[in-house]
């Protein structure tokens, strides 16, 4: 387990993942009944952007750093507010004004998915997070120590899909965000999804994946289609043309059972994000049904 998210925190892939995660939670908040979020590969929860690791790659500058300077049109800015509010809160800033977000220079930390999710829980909602790396887990559990709404568990995230689904609330979302260090990670994602849906058919599932090689990604999509699962929305963002062996320029999310207005929201937001985050030719966003209803 060599992967450390601190090198990548706040990069273009986190922008997509976290903006979409926040939109999913906004939709869950629309009903009064409680929901539970499960984050199977949680990371440390909070990343110091001045750390040697974050400074070494500086990836956040081309991710959240760019978003904060982007000329946000009011509609897309409004869609980003829940995520940016969590980023602002982690940095001790109260308010984010749509279209006029705070200066990147004021950003000292970047919240990971557990912190963003926690920021959006109401009193009745709960969050379960699992992380397998011992040092990362220690940081994560320290961050949420004493928080009765968050359960932190040092556990294999693939097992969490079996152990914690369905949640007793019977409403909720699951983020599966593995580090893609293992060659079989795409297969594990597809198998994990099948397993998770068998236990919690109504859950909103969000699976993150890197686009390192278009042929590999296509094979993953075909494998998902072959599972027979319905309502699979594909959301992808490329900051430049994907070239195997080159630094990552593309990532995607597979959303199963997405809230019904999400497709339209993301159809507007993701191309705009891609425009703001573009670093070269071939940049773009795509939101489409891999399998419809």
**Residue positions annotated with a catalytic role:** 177
Q: Say if residue 157 carries a ligand binding annotation.
A: yes
Q: Say if residue 5 carries a ligand binding annotation.
A: no
Residues 6+ apart with CB under 8 A from 160: 38, 40, 128, 130, 153
Nearer to ligand SAM among residue 43 and residue 201 (C-beta): 43
Helix (H) or strand (E) holding 237: strand 232-238
Q: Say if residue 228 carries a ligand binding annotation.
A: no
Min dist CB 99 to ligand SAM, Å, is 26
The total of other beta-carbon atoms located within 10 Å of residue 243's CB is 14
Nearer to ligand SAM among residue 194 and residue 291 (C-beta): 194
Nearer to ligand SAM among residue 83 and residue 276 (C-beta): 83
Min dist CB 33 to ligand SAM, Å, is 26
The total of other beta-carbon atoms located within 10 Å of residue 203's CB is 22
Nearer to ligand SAM among residue 12 and residue 99 (C-beta): 12
Which candidate, 107, 101, 105, places its Cα nearest to that of 74? Answer: 101
Rounded Cα distance, 265 and 6, in Å: 29
Residues 6+ apart with CB under 8 A from 6: 44, 47, 48, 51, 53, 54
DSSP code string of 46-91: EEETTSHHHHHH-GGGGTHHHHHHS---HHHHHHHHHHHHHHHHHT
Instruction: Tell me the two tokens of residue 49.
Output: 């952007």
Min dist CB 46 to ligand SAM, Å, is 9
Residue with the shortest CB distance to ligand SAM: 112
Min dist CB 100 to ligand SAM, Å, is 26
Q: Say if residue 156 carries a ligand binding annotation.
A: yes
Min dist CB 8 to ligand SAM, Å, is 7
Q: Say if residue 293 carries a ligand binding annotation.
A: no
Binding site for ligand SAM (CB under 6 A): 1, 3, 5, 17, 39, 41-43, 112-113, 130-133, 136, 156-158, 177-179
Instruction: Note the helical H segments in the chain.
Output: 12-28, 52-57, 64-69, 74-90, 113-119, 134-143, 157-163, 185-199, 214-226, 262-277
Nearer to ligand SAM among residue 125 and residue 136 (C-beta): 136
Q: Say if residue 8 carries a ligand binding annotation.
A: no
Q: Which residues are annotated as a binding site for S-adenosyl-L-methionine?
A: 18, 41, 113, 131, 156-157, 177
Q: Which residues are annotated as a binding site?
A: 18, 41, 113, 131, 156-157, 177
């Amino acid at each position: 387990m060599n992967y450390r998210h601190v090198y990548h925190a706040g990069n273009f892939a986190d922008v997509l993942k976290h903006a979409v995660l926040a939109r999913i939670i906004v939709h869950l908040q629309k009903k009064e009944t409680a929901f539970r979020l499960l984050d199977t590969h949680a990371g440390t929860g909070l990343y110091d952007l001045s750390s040697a690791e974050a400074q070494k790659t500086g990836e956040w500058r081309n991710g959240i750093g760019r978003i904060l300077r982007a000329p946000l049109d009011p509609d897309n800015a409004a869609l980003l507010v829940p995520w940016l509010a969590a980023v602002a809160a982690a940095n001790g800033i109260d308010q984010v004004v749509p279209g006029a977000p705070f200066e990147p220079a004021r950003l000292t930390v970047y919240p990971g998915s557990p912190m963003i999710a926690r920021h959006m829980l109401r009193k009745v909602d709960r969050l379960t997070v699992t992380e397998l790396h011992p040092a990362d887990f220690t940081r994560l559990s320290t961050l949420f120590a004493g928080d009765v709404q968050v359960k932190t568990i040092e556990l294999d995230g693939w097992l969490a899909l079996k152990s914690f689904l369905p949640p007793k609330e019977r409403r909720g979302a699951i983020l599966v965000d593995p580090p893609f260090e293992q060659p079989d990670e795409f297969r594990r994602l597809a198998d994990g999804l099948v397993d998770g849906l068998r236990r919690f058919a109504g859950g909103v599932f969000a699976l993150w994946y890197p686009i390192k090689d278009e042929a590999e990604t296509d094979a993953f999509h075909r494998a998902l289609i072959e599972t027979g699962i319905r309502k699979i929305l594909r959301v992808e963002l490329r900051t430049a043309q994907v070239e195997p062996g080159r630094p990552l320029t593309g990532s995607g999310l597979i959303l199963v059972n997405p809230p019904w207005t999400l497709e339209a929201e993301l159809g507007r937001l993701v191309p705009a994000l891609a425009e703001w985050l573009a670093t070269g030719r071939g940049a773009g966003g795509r939101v489409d049904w891999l399998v419809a209803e």
